[in-house]
Every structure is written in C-alpha cells, then in structure tokens.
Amino acid sequence: MLAAVNKKKWTWYGIIFAIIISLVIATIQIYSIEEESIKTSIIENQIEIQEIIAKSISKNITSEMELIIFELENLAKSSELQKDIGTVESNRLIAQTFIRLNSISPTAQILALDEDFTVLSQASKTYNSFVGAKVKGLSELIDLEKNDLDSEPKILSINTLLFDEPEIAITFPIINEETNKPAGMFLVTLASSEFFKRHGNIYDIESQFLTVTDENYVLLIHPNNKNIGKNFFDEEIQQANGNDPLVNYHIQNVLEGNLSTMIFTANDNIGERINTGIPVTVNGKNEFMFGVVTPTQSINKEIDEIIFITKIQSVFLLLSTIVVLLAFLVKRSQSFKKEKLTVIGQLSSNIAHDIRNPLGTIKNAGVIIEKENNDSNKIISREINRINLSVRRISHQIEEVLNYVRTTPLILKPHSINQTIQEAIDTLTVPENITISTPKNDVTIKFDHDKILIVFVNIILNAIQSIGDTKGEININMHKTGSHITIEFENSGPNIPSKDLKRIFDTLFTTKLEGTGLGLSSCKNIVEQHKGEIFATTNPVKFSIRLPK
C-alpha cells in the first residue's frame, strides 16, 4: 500500500514536473518568437521614420543651396558688379548679400575673385582680410582650375586654413553680359559640420546621428572625427566597414540618385546600425549623400530589458507575458505615430507660414513680368512658363498637406456626382496622350462638395502621373449598390505591387521621391467622414469610392 501511495505520489510529481517543464519550454519558445517579431516590427517602423526624415532634410538642404546660388546669380548680374568687381558700391552689395546668405544658412565668407584668382572683395565675420592676395597663394588646399571661371556654379568640399575640417565651397562665375566673357567669380565657404548638423537638429529623434559624403566619396560628417576628410574607399574606412561590397553598393546607389536603406555591422564600437541614405540634389546634380543612422542597439535595449525582467518574474504566466509584450509594442507604435505627426506638424507649419505667402508673391510677379514682356522675349516667356509650372507643383503639395491637417465640419448639400467629376477634370491639365471617360449616368446625393472634389482631383491626378508619357486612358464609372453609390476610377497605368497596395492609404506612405504621402490618406479621411469607404485594386488599377445615398 505504501509503495502504491509512493508510486502514485511520484506519478503526480512527474506529471506536474512534466507540465512545468513543458510550460517553461513553451514560454521560452514563445518569448523568442515574440521578441523577434517585435524587434522586426520596430526596425521596420524605424526605417520608415528615417526615410521620412531623410527626405525632409534632403529637400531642406537642396532648397538652401539653391537659394545661395540664386543670391550669387543676382549679385553677379547686378549693374555694379558688371561694371567692376572691386568698387565701393560692389563691396557694399557683396556685404549685403553676405548678410542675406547668413539668414539662409551660417556662411563663413564670400570672396570676389578676378580672372587671375586675385581677391578683390571679401565679406566675412571674423577672418583676416584676403583682399589683394591670390586664392592659390592663400591655401594650396583649394584647387580651382582656370576653366571654373567660365562654367556653371560648382559645389566643392575643400580643406582650408579656416577650419579643422572640410568646408563646403560654392563657386559662381561672373560673366560680363556685354562681352559674354568671364570677369571673375564668387567663392562662398560654409563649415560642413555646422551646415549639415543644423538640419539634423530640426528632427530630434533619439539615438540618431548623421553622416555626409560628397560626390567624390569624401566623408564630411562622421561619428568618428578621425574619419572626417578621408575617402570612403580608403583602406582604413573599408576595413572598418568589414570590406562589405553591399555597403559600397549602398553608398554608390545613393550618389547615383536613389533613396536606399540597409542594415549592416561595422568593425567599430557602434555595431549594427540602420543607415538610410538619400542624395542631396542641387540644380539637377547629386552633390552629397546624406545619411540618417540609428544603432539597432539603442532600439533593442529597452525591449531586451523588459523581456529579461518578464522572463524572470513570469516564467509560468504565458498569456500575461504575451499581453505585456503586445502592450509594449502598442506603446512603441504610438510613440512612432507621435513622431510622424510631429514631422507632419512641422512640415505643415513651415508650408503655411514660410512658403504659401512667398509663393503667391512669386506667382503675381510672374504674371506682371509676363504681361510686360508680352511674348516679345522668348527666353523670358520660357522661364516664366517654368516658374508657373513650379508654382503649380508646389501649390499642389501645399494643398495636400493642408487638406490633411484641416479638420473642418462637413457641409452636406445635394450635389451632382457627374458635375463634381467634371469640375475635378477641369482643374487639372490632362496630357494629350491620356483620354478620360466619365459616367453616362448621374446621381445627386448629399456630400461636402469641396472635400469630395479634393478626393476626385487626387485620384485622377495620381492616375495621370501613373500613366506618364505612354498612351493611356482613365475610365470613370458609377453604379448603385443597395443604399450606396460606388464611383470607380480605373486607369491603364502599371499595376500596384501587392506590398504597396496594403499601405497605399497609410499616412506618409509614398513611392514618389517628391511625394508628400498625404494625398490618398487625406482622401481616406474625407470619405470616412462621409461614412463611406475607399479601396484600391490592381490588374487593372482601380480606385473605388462608396458613398451613402
């Protein structure tokens, strides 16, 4: 009997022990799976945010450099500089331009050189006067060839005696408009670290740092100061990157004009990092590679601590553990969403206050110039047309952002669907290679006319951009389905990849380098305000909107 009791006891012990062991093993396995899934999700979110930030910074840098070149162009064409570079009046204009340049970006100095590279005028805050000296005599490190006097503006990275780091130099030729011969050039210098890091500080994202490489692969900004000024393909830098050909391809791919993100590990104290690179294009030329870098260690540290503590305290609480991990993931997702909305807020604020009013001034100035010119000067007419096209493109991007952030109540009144579709088409410039067919039937329902018009314009414009220069068509159909009206916009453009189709209405998702990622997201918000639905299908590409009658 005692033996039977002992046997039964040990049997129960064995069962309980087996259950405990099984539960521990199952918990460890589930922990491992959930941990990897969460890390993957967080890294994907981090990549998305880095690409948003990289695009914004690249556009800001491009805008500042093009504004600097624009100021130098105006200075070079001024009547005083056309007469003589070294006069009192020309010196005054150069000093005024220097002040304006510093309002755009911190500028070290402007040097005005004659055709022999002799400094005739200088505007600077703290540096010694170089007037009367030759640039090559000042520093053997500045390499300016003679033909630079008779060429387009150039952006260089140079080493001078002004800073203990490479500088950015922008050159602009001074061409005598009467003789069409070079009379000299401007040389503007900026401290590279001050210029680039200032842009990075706008987006205060934890654990990130910046890298910048010029078109010749010289490192201008790098977390290791010893590497600044060295070529990326130097043996020392290559060894630090593990001689990884994929890293080299990533750098070359960006400087060829492509947005690129990769995760790699270098032989340094940073370890694995997420590197998002984007070209900085000035006047159509890729001048720099701007990189936003985040060590994955900083992303994984918090989650590793939580998982470690939870494993110790809750080894038998499988469901509780999963809930904790999911709660952490939700918390992190909310944090990323907040950062996205911060970027949108900054972008919309800048557009509303810093771009919209000057854009109106530019547009009005173009109208006045075009009226005065009266098509008598073909070059002026062509340039005014380019200005008008650019104004329209920027205005559209402004409206996309503002439409997204506006939260006005609906004004529901009866309107014709067909008439609203036609209004949307009339507001757009439809290329000759594209034909648009509208519904043969019509229906009148209650909706906010202005907001639904925005939806129709966005969808038709996306279709036009998707078709591009090829011959294509956009077919718009409408039919009743129960208590709803369905409007379908079908186009002959390329199919939407399945991975993009799932995210096509997500905020800030875009496949276009110059897109805002807010157009279709705004459409979704507007349609849902009307208690409707919007969805997209592919093969053929079709956007469908369901609105209640």
Q: Is residue 80 part of a domain?
A: yes
* pTM recorded for the entire structure: 0.51
* Helix, strand, coil share of the chain (percent; to 5): 50, 20, 25
Q: Is residue 379 part of a domain?
A: no
Confirm if 398 and 351 have CB atoms less than 8 A apart.
yes
Q: Is residue 507 part of a domain?
A: yes
Q: Is residue 13 scored above 50 in pLDDT?
A: no
Q: Give the residue among 438, 452, 461 at the shortest CA–CA distance from 546.
A: 452
Among the three residues 194, 211, 241, which one is the final residue of a domain in this structure?
A: 194
Confirm if 304 and 36 have CB atoms less than 8 A apart.
no
* CATH number where 529 lies: 3.30.565.10
Q: Is residue 97 part of a domain?
A: yes
Confirm if 110 and 123 have CB atoms less than 8 A apart.
yes
Residue scoring higher pLDDT (38 or 247)? 247
* CATH number where 94 lies: 3.30.450.20
Average pLDDT of the residues of the chain = 77
Q: Is residue 523 part of a domain?
A: yes
Q: Is residue 450 part of a domain?
A: yes
The CA distance from 425 to 209, in Å, is 45
Tens of pLDDT, residues 262-288: 987 776 666 788 889 999 999 888 888
Q: How many domains in the chain? A: 2
pLDDT at 149: 56
**Burial (CB count <10 Å: 0-12, 13-18, 19+), residue 354:** exposed
Among the three residues 194, 215, 234, which one is the final residue of a domain in this structure?
A: 194
Tell me which amino acid residue 442 is.
D
pLDDT at 404: 60
pLDDT at 190: 86
The CA distance from 9 to 87, in Å, is 107
**Burial (CB count <10 Å: 0-12, 13-18, 19+), residue 243:** exposed
Q: Is residue 59 part of a domain?
A: no
End-to-end CA distance of the chain: 82
Among the three residues 160, 194, 228, which one is the final residue of a domain in this structure?
A: 194
Owning domain of residue 471: 413-548
Instruction: Give the pLDDT band of residue 543 (cuts 50, 70, 90).
Output: very high
Residue scoring higher pLDDT (298 or 290)? 290
Q: Give the residue among 233, 236, 265, 235 at the shortest CA–CA distance from 249.
A: 233
Q: Is residue 335 part of a domain?
A: no
